[in-house]
Amino acid sequence: RYTIPYYEKNKDKMAQLGFTDAIIKELGGVKREYLQAAFNTIDSLYGSSEVMLQTEFGITPEKQKELVQRYTY
């Protein structure tokens, strides 16, 4: 739903470049197996997504809790 306005605005340009509706759908979506592969990689490199967020982005556990509260409840 977030990509629909972009698609509607640019579909003629994308068609000229050879993008079919099927290709656009594939590029605009998220596949469960891709997300799982990303989470598996994070877990293997860092042990958890929480550790990755703190190590790579400096997001403290306290800030992570704040963000979870703000965006998931």
2-53 pLDDT, tens digit per residue, is 666 777 788 888 889 998 888 877 777 788 898 999 999 999 999 999 999 9
| CA separation for the pair 73, 53 (Å, rounded) | 20
Please report the pLDDT score of residue 2 as a whole number: 60
Given a contact cutoff of 8 angstroms between Cβ atoms, the answer to whether 28 and 7 are in contact is yes
Distance CA 43, CA 11 (A): 38
From residue 62, alpha-carbon distances to 49, 51, 54, 57 in Å are 14, 12, 10, 14
Query: So what's the pLDDT on residue 49?
Result: 96
CA 19 to chain centre: 21
